[in-house]
Amino acid sequence: MRTREGTCTAGVVVAMAGVLALASLAVVWAQGPGDEARVDQVFARWDRPDTPGCAVSVMRDGRIVYAHGYGSANLEYDIPITPSSVFHVASIAKQFTAMAVALLVSEGRVSWDDDIRRYVPEVPDFGSRITLGHLAHHTSGLRDQWSLLRMAGWRWQEDVVRQADVLDLTSRQRALNFEPGSAFLYSNTGYTLLAVVVERVSGQPFREFTDARIFAPLGMSQTRFEDDHTAIVRHRAYAYARGDDGVHRVSIPDFDTVGATGLLTTVEDLARWDRNFYTAEVGGRDVLADLLRRGTLSGDRVISYAAGLAHGVYRGQPTVGHGGADAGYRAEFLRFPDRRLSVAVFCNFPSSDPDRLVRAVADVYLEPTGSDEGELPPGSSAASDGQPPASSDPVSPPATAVEPLEELTGFYRREESDTPLHLIVREGALTILSGGSADTFVPIGPDQFRLGGSSTVGTFDRSAGVVTLRLSGPLEGTFTRQPRWRPTAVELASFAGSYYSADLAVQYTLSVDGGRLVARQRKLGTLLLTPTYPGGFFTSGFYLAFTQGADGAVDGFTMSTARAWKVRFDRQ
């Protein structure tokens, strides 16, 4: 039996070892001639020793039909990536956290309808019940932990973040993004809290519980949750990111949190997890149904996100999966249940785009089945970043369409959040800028557009002299275009002062420097504030909207990201 790693020799011992391997999780090679070479071609640019790369596994019925590694797991010691390389897989962890809770639910020890404050009283009483189900489906309204930590001055890969830090910031919050159950918004905070629930109910550290109840029974010997970033991890693939000088540097998470992230695994081990969806050997059918059941919003509106897994469609086929991104690591795991096909891609550099790579590999094994279009659900690597997916649609509107498009440009804001959408015309197409991404609106009708590569539809209304944009899908909401604004020196001076947030226990000092408004924070340093709409500014991932008191003077501002809305700062 030929493999990419060598050739098996004859003999009874070898034959018996092969039988045992097949019994536990066989490596059954692809049936289609040339499939392996076509997969290799997808990763060809990284199939060399002087670059980071990726590991891939292709599974049918939970058994590997092809697995290989490309590029280097360690650039310092020239260690290649193999299917056995251990990766930090970020938010792919969430489905295992949901599984841990579902096991407790099956035993009657907790309920998805339980109030989180029953187990984690550190969560404030916001006046509305936040259930475990809300947390699992990202419908709790809780502000995202990573946004809050960044606002509070944490520096990624410089400051260690612990579970206690997340609990502390959560306990300080005085408001939610929205009423629990009324909307979907991806929030890592919810899954960190679910891990705390598992620990407090089981009486075991989260790592021990998941080892004993999930990973060991499934034979996932190279998989574990890790809450100590200094731990020695055998066969770990280090992650890298290019610096401003173009040179690779180590880029590994230094946080000690689990639940929302913190999972270490291999593309080989993930096949054992994939197989459990068919065999239900761990948990049983009812537990797996809990993981796959889509969440609902008020009014019985069904969302794409289940419990740590997101439903979608690709090439006319239903999909279930999740992506992940932390520091230099990127990962994607996508299942095609009706075809009993799954693909996992783990990479160790930020620009790898495993969401695209997984689908490119799936294309090798999926016969054409119709339309390539379908929704990209919340929880895929694009949507789980809180941003619309990148467009792959070629758009070449006629020259006559450019002028009307200009009338739609500007900053659009909704009442719930200070994070605006910025619309511009780029290369003759209406383009939406949000959170560092740029995506194209494809015309589908008068004043109606589809966000390229997704099911999100935007509809403009120009009545009453005010332009509004109504979005469907994961970005659902109504946004109103804001007046253009170029503040004068006098206006900028009115914002100078010291501002404190009780939600974050942090202070920012604003001043005018060289005709520009800047913010200074003890750990983040000096941040340049760029005007957006009247009273609004953008800086380093944050949006600020200033408020005025009864006397008309500036009395504070709110700070927002895509996942944490209107955190209050009061002028001192």
The predicted-structure confidence for 65-82, as pLDDT tens digits, reads as follows: 999 999 999 999 999 999
- Token pair of 372 as six digits: 């390539």
User: In this predicted structure, what is the pLDDT of residue 435?
Assistant: 65
Minimum mean pLDDT range among 401-410, 452-461, 509-518: 401-410
Q: Can you tell me the distance from the alpha carbon of 217 to that of 178, in angstroms, rounded to the nearest whole number?
A: 39
For 351, how many CA atoms within 13 A lie in the half-sphere containing its CB? 8
So what's the pLDDT on residue 293? Answer: 97
pLDDT in tens, 385-440: 333 333 333 333 443 344 478 999 999 999 888 889 999 999 889 999 876 678 89
Is residue 265 scored above 80 in pLDDT? yes
CB 267 within 8 A of CB 83: yes
Beta bridge partners of 72: 80
For 89, the token pair is: 């897989």
Q: Supply 535's token pair.
A: 């009273």
Provide the sign of the torsion angle of the four alpha carbons 483, 489, 490, 495, taken in this order. positive
Structure tokens at 422: 């910025």
Residue 15 token pair: 């034959």
Domains of the chain: 90-312+322-328 (3.40.710.10), 399-481 (2.40.128), 489-571 (2.40.128.50)
Q: Quick one: three-class SS letters along 28-75? A: CCCCCCCHHHHHHHHCHHHCCCCCCCEEEEEEECCEEEEEEEECEEEC
- Please report, for the chain, how many H helices and E strands are present, in that order: 14, 34
pLDDT of residue 385: 36
pLDDT of residue 525: 94
Q: Report d(CA 401, CA 430) in Å as an integer.
A: 10
Contacts 24+ apart (CB under 8 A), 241-248: 241/327, 241/328, 241/349, 241/350, 242/349, 248/52, 248/75, 248/349
Q: Quote the mean pLDDT of the chain.
A: 88
Query: How far apart are alpha carbons 562 and 188 in whole angstroms?
Result: 13
State residue 438's pLDDT score.
82
Mean pLDDT, rounded, for 188-216: 98
- Alpha carbons 137 and 307: distance in angstroms, whole number: 6
Measured between alpha carbons, how far is 493 from 533 in angstroms, rounded to an integer? 17
Integer Cα distance of 361 and 57 in angstroms? 9
- In the three-class reduction of DSSP (H, G, I as helix; E, B as strand; rest coil), residue 426 is classed as strand
Q: Tokens at residue 60, please? A: 């049918």
User: What is the percentage of the chain residues whose pLDDT exceeds 70?
Assistant: 87
**What whole-number distance in Å separates Cα of residue 529 and Cα of residue 154?**
19
pLDDT at 20: 35
**Residue 50, exposed/middle/buried by CB under 10 A (0-12, 13-18, 19+)?**
exposed
Rounded average pLDDT over 23-34:
47
Average pLDDT over residues 306-313: 97
Res. 33 pLDDT band, cuts 50 70 90: low
Name all contacts of 302-307 with Cβ < 8 Å and 24+ positions apart. Answer: 303/137, 303/139, 303/184, 303/378, 304/375, 304/377, 304/378, 304/379, 304/474, 305/137, 305/138, 305/184, 305/377, 305/378, 305/379, 306/137, 307/95, 307/98, 307/101, 307/102, 307/136, 307/137
Concatenated DSSP letters for 171-197?
HH----SS-TTS-----HHHHHHHHHH
Q: Measure CA of the first residue to CA of the last residue in the chain; give whole Å.
A: 73
SS3 79: strand
What is the rounded average pLDDT of the residues 81-97?
Answer: 98
> Is the pLDDT score of 501 beyond 50?
yes
CA–CA dist 60, 339 (Å, integer): 8
Highest mean pLDDT among 185-194, 435-444, 471-480: 185-194
Secondary-structure percent of the chain, ordered helix, strand, coil, rounded to 5: 25, 30, 40
Least confident of 143-147, 255-259, 432-436: 432-436
Q: What is the pLDDT of residue 11?
A: 36
As a whole number, mean pLDDT of residues 25-30 equals 40
How far lies 299's CA from each of 101, 137, 181, 296, 303, in Å? 26, 16, 10, 8, 12
Residue type, 190: G
Q: Which of 157-161, 316-320, 403-407 has the highest mean pLDDT?
A: 316-320
Tell which wins on pLDDT, 22 or 83. Answer: 83
Cα gap 319→379, rounded to integer Å: 12
Residue 452 confidence (pLDDT): 80
Give residue 368's pLDDT: 59
Strands 224-225 and 341-347, how do they pair?
Answer: unpaired
Q: For residue 127, with 0-12 CB atoms within 10 Å meaning exposed, 13-18 middle and 19 or more buried, which class applies?
A: exposed
Contacts of 167 by beta carbon, 8 Å cutoff, 6+ apart: 120, 122, 196
Count how many residues are written for the chain: 572
Element containing residue 520 per DSSP (H, E): strand 516-521
pLDDT of residue 104: 98
- Identify the band that residue 31 occupies on the pLDDT scale cut at 50, 70 and 90: low
Which DSSP state fits 214? I
> What is the enclosing helix (H) or strand (E) of 489?
helix 489-494
Which of the four pLDDT bands, split at 50, 70 and 90, describes residue 541? confident
Average pLDDT rounded to a whole number, residues 329-353: 97
pLDDT surpasses 70 at 250: yes
